[in-house]
Amino acid sequence: MTIEITGTPDFDGVITVAQLKEHLRVDSSDEDTLIQAYRNAAIAWVEDYCNTRLGDVAAVGYMDNFYNARFPIGPVASITSVTYLDTANASQTLATTKYWFDIKTKATRITFDSAPDIYENTFNAVQVNMLVGYPEASIPNPIITAIRLMVGHLYENRQEVTSGGGVPREIPMGMHAILSPYRIITSV
């Protein structure tokens, strides 16, 4: 399943620049634009690493056919509809009695029963419309901590590699252990 994010989250709902400035102990507004850019980069990195979204966003999952699947993104808050291209290549909505889903598992799964025939000469004939992401008020604190750590790292180390003592070294980022429990991983 391929996922396309169709909604746009509000990064200020995740963590504000003011909250990050407090973490960084920055009093002036001279670098607000830079801190905002670091925040946006940190959130994007966390979302990519964990295969998640922060804030409720609309998304569409594309499948070539009806098959049991696990979603490569999460958490999934709800599945709003399933549409498909019928044999005449016209869009139809699948009845909710023809599919079941489990959003309680870490990688949401969906299964179909007596699915109709679909248009065969196309990709992405089945679309699963959904809401994904942690609601802004329910983002786990370790994820917010990881964002703060990454912004602090980017703010203090404005280069990826340092050369302390004449030896080039990549600066480590200690967020993997914090974020690992929140990763959505599906097997192909």
Mean pLDDT calculated for residue range 167-181 = 66
Whether the ω angle into residue 75 lies within 30 degrees of 0, i.e. cis, is yes
Q: What is the pLDDT of residue 181?
A: 74
- Residue 19 above 90 pLDDT? yes
What's the pTM? Answer: 0.81
- DSSP lists the bridge partners of residue 161 as 170
Overall domain count for the chain: 1
Count, in order, helices (H) and strands (E) of the chain: 5, 10
- Residue 48 above 70 pLDDT? yes
Q: How far is CA 1 from CA 79, 162, 174, 177, 186, in A?
A: 14, 40, 31, 27, 10
* Tens digits of residue pLDDT in 49-82: 899 999 989 999 999 999 999 999 989 999 999 9
Mean pLDDT calculated for residue range 148-157 = 89
H-assigned helices in the chain: 11-14, 17-24, 32-50, 141-156, 176-179
- DSSP lists the bridge partners of residue 57 as 132
H or E element that contains 98: none
- Confidence band (pLDDT; 50, 70, 90) for 121? confident
Amino acid at site 122: T
Residue 33 sits at φ, ψ, to 5 deg, of -65, -40
Mean pLDDT calculated for residue range 104-108 = 87
Dihedral over alpha carbons 71, 73, 78, 80 (to 10 degrees): -70
Distance CA 55, CA 45 (A): 15
Name every residue whose Cβ is closer than 8 Å to that of residue 84 and which is 6 or more positions away in sequence.
66, 91, 92, 94, 115, 116, 118, 125, 126, 127
Q: What is the pLDDT of residue 169?
A: 66
- Confidence band (pLDDT; 50, 70, 90) for 188? low
**pLDDT, the chain, mean:** 89
Q: State the CB neighbour count (10 A cutoff) for residue 124.
A: 15
Q: What is the pLDDT of residue 68?
A: 94
N residues, the chain: 188
Any idea which of 10-19, 99-108, 110-119, 173-182 has the lowest mean pLDDT?
173-182
* Tens digits of residue pLDDT in 26-44: 999 999 999 999 999 899 8
Amino acid at site 16: T
Quote the domain boundaries for residue 161: 1-188
Do the beta carbons of residue 133 and residue 75 sit within 8 Å? yes
- Residue 18 above 70 pLDDT? yes
